[in-house]
Amino acid sequence: MPRFDPPDVLLLGPGPSPVPRRILDALARPTIGHLDPRFVGMMDELKELLRFAFQTGNALTLPVSAPGSAGMETAFVNLIEPGDTVVVCRNGVFGARMRENVVRAGATAVMVEDAFGTAIDLDKVEAALRANPGAKALAFVHAETSTGVQSDAAALCRLAREHGALAIVDAVTSLGGIPVLADAWGADAIYSGSQKCLSAPPGLSPVTFSARAVEVITSRKTPVQSWFLDLGLVMGYWQGSGARAYHHTAPINMLYALHEALLGLQEEGLEAAFARHRDNHLRLRDGLAAIGLDLLVAEAARLPQLNAVKVPDGVDEAGVRRRLLNDFSIEIGAGLGELAGKIWRIGLMGAGSTPGNVDRVVGALAECLGRKAA
């Protein structure tokens, strides 16, 4: 069997996003021990860098040793106990996944439903919180990767606080691309992924928990159902001064890569990164409009980093994606769930968000569709 040499593909789908060479090089640095004092020093830096990315002073801020789905599960299994009620907003695929997590933690999920492609309706959320006094948490997706919609995280966190509920926020696709303000929002748990706007390879899930969330975790009545994701144990490795208690073997090289990716974000600056994502989104919008393609989401709710493009009538949705991949070496995403076949998803995430990439994908789409810019 020969070695595997991946082709060079421009990743403009819903993630993973393009990983810059400097981050791939960091990934390939020599593996050292997970209890080596130098490695522990790097872990401390990583926590600081993540606090910067999340705009938080939260002590409990670290990367979970598995992809974003495990970050989601970390939030639910640590904060929720059997018998709890959680208000879950669903306006895309990932809201449905949150419900799965709630149910498997033995809790009741009260669903607030909005159409795929629209933002979460604050009035419906308020009504659900009123109708369920004592709800333990409100859970919602800040940036719905399945639809390209951004919801009002600040307002949703405020509603949660007003009703005494914890705010659990999915920021998998938002972190690094649009403002994620853990402290200013008063969010209690936020999880993200390494492979979207942070431009690291997939496999890690940065999370941050408020002091209030930590209190909820430490005063649980039942053990966390997952041993691997039990933050009470994970904290023994990631926190404390001096020696760290072994819990599991950290994914050493992946952590090198995330460290390097966050250094890059710090060098660029958050505001500059957000402006870049915004500018390239507008360039894409204009380029698509010029070849007669429309975005699914209303302007006010659009994510700059994930653009849901309506597939024109009569066009072979999968055929176009296949041609983009095979003839132009560009990956874009398909629709998920009820949007399958109806949209393409063009990601301009992290290092992938450049004017050159916008022009390349618009040009390739124009060729595939036989359209010329108006």
Nearest approach in angstroms of CB 78 to a copy of itself is 13
Query: What are the CA-CA distances from residue 328 to residues 53, 199, 286, 294, 366 (Å)?
Result: 33, 22, 21, 22, 12
- What are the φ/ψ torsions at residue 303 (nearest 5 degrees)? -85, 130
User: C-alpha angle with apex 66: 234 to 280, nearest 5 degrees?
Assistant: 125
Query: What are the CA-CA distances from residue 340 to residues 153, 308, 311, 334, 337 (Å)?
Result: 26, 11, 10, 6, 6
CA quadruple 291, 335, 271, 360: dihedral, nearest 10: -40
- Residue 239 sits in the site that holds a copy of itself (CB under 8 A): no
- Residue 270 sits in the site that holds a copy of itself (CB under 8 A): no
Q: Which is nearer to a copy of itself, 45 or 162 (CB)?
A: 45
Among 28, 115, 127, 184, binds a copy of itself (CB under 8 A): 28
Residue entry with tokens 């009538």: 313
Taking the C-alpha atoms of residue 30 and residue 26, their distance in angstroms, rounded to an integer, is 9
Q: Which is nearer to a copy of itself, 43 or 214 (CB)?
A: 43
Among 209, 256, 274, 344, binds a copy of itself (CB under 8 A): 256
Q: Is 267 exposed, middle or buried (0-12, 13-18, 19+ CB in 10 A)?
A: exposed
Nearest approach in angstroms of CB 356 to a copy of itself is 17
Taking the C-alpha atoms of residue 33 and residue 367, their distance in angstroms, rounded to an integer, is 51
- Residue 123 sits in the site that holds a copy of itself (CB under 8 A): no
Nearest approach in angstroms of CB 349 to a copy of itself is 12
Among 26, 125, 165, 368, binds a copy of itself (CB under 8 A): 26
Among positions 82-121, residues that touch a copy of itself (CB under 8 A) are 97, 100-101, 103-105
Which residues, 6 or more positions from 272, have their beta carbon under 8 angstroms from its beta carbon?
none
Among positions 142-201, residues that touch a copy of itself (CB under 8 A) are 193, 195, 201
Nearest approach in angstroms of CB 195 to a copy of itself is 6
Q: Which is nearer to a copy of itself, 152 or 331 (CB)?
A: 331
Nearest approach in angstroms of CB 71 to a copy of itself is 9
Taking each helix axis from N to C terminus, what angle separates 317-328 and 355-369, rounded to the nearest 10 degrees? 120
- Residue 283 sits in the site that holds a copy of itself (CB under 8 A): no
Show the binding pattern over residues 326-345: x = contacts a copy of itself (CB under 8 A), - = does not: -----x----x---------
Q: Which is nearer to a copy of itself, 45 or 359 (CB)?
A: 45
Identify which range of 129-137, 256-264, 293-301, 306-314 contacts a copy of itself by CB under 8 A: 256-264
- Residue 16 sits in the site that holds a copy of itself (CB under 8 A): yes
Half-sphere exposure for 194 (CA within 13 Å, toward CB): 27
Query: What are the CA-CA distances from residue 66 to residues 176, 242, 259 (Å)?
Result: 19, 25, 15
Identify which range of 59-67, 108-116, 128-136, 154-162 contacts a copy of itself by CB under 8 A: 59-67
Taking the C-alpha atoms of residue 293 and residue 315, their distance in angstroms, rounded to an integer, is 12
Identify which range of 60-68, 177-185, 276-284, 286-294 contacts a copy of itself by CB under 8 A: 60-68
Taking the C-alpha atoms of residue 129 and residue 112, their distance in angstroms, rounded to an integer, is 10
